[in-house]
Structure 1
């Protein structure tokens, strides 16, 4: 399944609720970013094929400032992330504003557009494991929305992608006429929870029209290759994953919060501290993006703002180059084969890099479960 591209400027469509969300989002891989660093328009963002998803407590205010102060004209969404604090129910699947006399979904959607969003996202709460009534309530409320500029958010517990629930999820998504944005909720990387999840996520985006995947990692590219309308890749681990309301994000190791760095040859995100330790006695692989210019990828060991911005720009430029590669291949079998071969080549690079470092497979870099799945799942 492929989606037509629109090159009409998203900034010119902001207040027009009749412009379909599909026309401004189709084919884009957006940068999902916390609002605290805005207004700062990243030069790494490709406005033709990319854009921005603003999230965080002040996302709406920062989105407006990005439009007005930074003169940002690209595609932009505002993700207020109600799923981080609110669980959807059969009676109230959406979290409506509490400071309005007569709160409504339409008011919430219109407010996002007034703050500069190119399309509006429903304020859906977290959909808990197996809560069919809450999922049906989202379908019910979505059917009442008459705006064309709307994306229906589906922040699902990742267990909805297991074999015993994925068919129900697919059927539910198919009943929603608007574009649907999946946000997978789990501790750590959702797709590492069990081996069937990457393949089942592929089923969802390939079998249902106009699916999106937000707040994710390279799974966003996997989704785009297999027919997704749009994707949003997080600038940091906290914006690539989210946990259920009431849970605190688990951490592998307490201490300073260093940037995570996308390793181009291995197609993986690794913490800057881990990379610094790993390459303490060996040359780190160089990167030739516009930010790195041949320097090693082990140099981002810092918690200051400049280091974070540079590491983030490196990440964006790296996966944006892959988006360009993807766009240059024909949708369908050719594009799917390109992606599978790219993932398979990355898997081969793990053995080569471990050999270069003199490390065993057990002690060296190990390919993530989703990458292994993308390299081996059938392309058709």
Structure 2
């Protein structure tokens, strides 16, 4: 990976791209990694220079992004997402949140600041757009179209219900009128795509009917939209960065009683993220599924049931190596029907493996035992291939 730091020199400055440098060609075809801002930025050898990049996400994202550029020596594609939508709800009067310490700051100041800290393109600081709040959504359209620069990506942090059959047509109509590229971020507790049966199909419809759409802060839905014409997408390094929750809600977890948290592991054959604690239980009396990625090198996937930093690093690396390989495979197929068919067949093969894996380990596919194919994966495996 060419983005590893050169120990012989430390960059003295971060190169800032002019606001006239268009965002679309810089982001086209990339699947980015959403990074936390808590740990010190580190090189990610699993990221592909030509097809990947980083979204630094959360409080102090600008400072961590600058560190990634200046201290780590990262030269790849980089976005800065301060995640204003986690604390601010968009209104008809103010869809964008200005920096809290700048009384007279404008959205242009926010965009310029991101670029000064090393961002390749700039994300609007859009607030969370609640269910059916048409006035807030239209306000984003109004204010976004006032932005006179080529480097801007309009963030659309929407509740997942905007993808229901009652709201999808309006969402498509508004997105089509925004003249900048768009970046959708879905909100709901747990997996937003599981909130309603029609959401996976309607998400595809949005990305098929509107050009220059991106899906950020998500999971393998990133690959589904990429197969169906997305500009770019972003996968969270941890489960908390694979969706977002409304500002007035506290994150719910399936874990009771607190205690240590363990990594979520991407299963290559089953194409799902599974908690390390659950994997340890499932494989307690059977040989674990193994992985051949560069991080695992044939080792079992039950080994991540530890809460230390090194285990977390290994799990992250395994996940990135796994989905990065799929991104590379996808890029080898021609955009359009050929790529869509490849993705559908891959998802269908994964769904078929669930019964085989459960049989191998002597488990049944029930909520209390065995592996269960996620609803979005089953949808991707069965939705029709459109021209």
Structure-1-length-normalised TM-score: 0.96
Following the alignment from structure 2 to structure 1, what is the Cα–Cα distance between the partners of residues 229 and 294?
A: 29
Residue 109 of structure 2 is matched in structure 1 by 107
Residue 299 of structure 2 is matched in structure 1 by 295
Following the alignment from structure 2 to structure 1, what is the Cα–Cα distance between the partners of residues 103 and 193?
A: 41
Residue 173 of structure 2 is matched in structure 1 by 171
Following the alignment from structure 1 to structure 2, what is the Cα–Cα distance between the partners of residues 235 and 306?
A: 15
The more displaced of 295-304 and 180-189 is 295-304
Matches within 5 A, 1:59-138: 59-138=61-140
Following the alignment from structure 1 to structure 2, what is the Cα–Cα distance between the partners of residues 206 and 12?
A: 36
Following the alignment from structure 2 to structure 1, what is the Cα–Cα distance between the partners of residues 364 and 239?
A: 27
- Does structure 1 conserve the Cα–Cα contact (< 8 Å) formed by 2:14 and 2:118? no
Residue 7 of structure 1 is matched in structure 2 by none
Following the alignment from structure 1 to structure 2, what is the Cα–Cα distance between the partners of residues 246 and 201?
A: 25
Following the alignment from structure 1 to structure 2, what is the Cα–Cα distance between the partners of residues 256 and 246?
A: 25
Structure-2-length-normalised TM-score: 0.94
* 1:20 paired residue among 16, 22, 26: 22
Matches within 5 A, 1:197-236: 197-236=199-238
Matches within 5 A, 1:1-380: 14-254=16-256, 255-362=259-366, 363-380=369-386
| Cα displacement (A) at 1:12 | 9.1
- Does structure 2 conserve the Cα–Cα contact (< 8 Å) formed by 1:156 and 1:183? yes
Gapped regions of structure 2 (runs ≥ 5): 1-12
- Does structure 2 conserve the Cα–Cα contact (< 8 Å) formed by 1:188 and 1:241? yes
Task: Please report the RMSD computed on the Cα atoms of aligned residues, expressed in angstroms.
Answer: 1.1
Q: 1:188-239 CA distances to partner (integer Å, 9 max, x unpaired)?
A: 0000111100000000111100000000000000000000000000011100
- Does structure 2 conserve the Cα–Cα contact (< 8 Å) formed by 1:272 and 1:301? yes
**Number of residue-to-residue matches in the alignment:** 370
Q: 1:256-278 CA distances to partner (integer Å, 9 max, x unpaired)?
A: 21110000000000001000111
The secondary structure found in structure 1 opposite 2:359 is: helix
Gapped regions of structure 1 (runs ≥ 5): 1-10
| Cα displacement (A) at 1:37 | 2.5
Following the alignment from structure 1 to structure 2, what is the Cα–Cα distance between the partners of residues 83 and 304?
A: 30
